[in-house]
Chains A and B, each alone.
Chain A
């Protein structure tokens, strides 16, 4: 069935360093890949997304890369700050039919000051 694997489950970095979170999806029909940040007690907040016709997208300190052949996509955060500490989820979906999101299991990022 449809599945998204996410690694690592926890990640600790020093403030100012970079963080990379990787996801692999199983459904080759997936064509939209959003990333969400979830802080304690809150709902997931969209931080960046990418569509399958693009290999990379950047928004200030955040970037996402997509390798359709390998069915991999990754989140890159540069110059990390303590406020980046949260749980990050990747998701994959197809823009047809129900358009349900299949989420990864999450990565808890800790940025150490």
Chain B
């Protein structure tokens, strides 16, 4: 086990709704990266937070947003959900933005 936890484990939403996913990083880690993993694909980088600031973003629209808190836990928010947002959302924690990334178990989101 990596010590990275995510909640909830599963979620069902309908198109147009908003969702918030949560991640607690491994003890001592100050960086959280979020990835989207569609079925049968590799994880795709959404964004990274380092010491509460966004530290890079992948090719995802602005309706994907995030936060990192002083305890380095993080949230991923997705507005105006679309069917294609159905995926496994993974967070990974690391140290100082350059350490090895350790993944949580993921949140599986289904958009109907």
Contact = CB atoms under 8 A, between A and B. Distances in A.
Interface residues of A, number: 25
Given A45-B2, A49-B100, A95-B98, A100 B90 contact: no
Contacts of A99: 48, 56, 94, 97-98
B43 A44 contact: yes
B66 interface: no
A88 to B, nearest CB: 10
A100 to B, nearest CB: 4
Contacts of B105: 41-43
A100 B48 contact: yes
B2 A101 contact: no
Interface string B71-112: 000000000000000000010101001101111111000000
B42 A43 contact: no
B61 interface: no
Interface residues of B, number: 28
Given A44-B90, A98-B48, A36 B103 contact: yes
A101 B41 contact: no
Interface string A42-77: 111110010000000000000000000000000000
Most buried by B among A4, A49, A100, A104: A100
Given A89-B42, A95-B98, A105-B42, A44 B55 contact: no
B100 to A, nearest CB: 6
B55 A106 contact: no
A101 B37 CA distance: 13
Most buried by A among B42, B48, B57: B42
Interface of A: 4, 6, 34, 36, 41-46, 49, 89, 91, 95-106
8 contacts: A43-B103, A98-B97, A100-B33, A100-B56, A101-B33, A101-B43, A101-B92, A106-B40
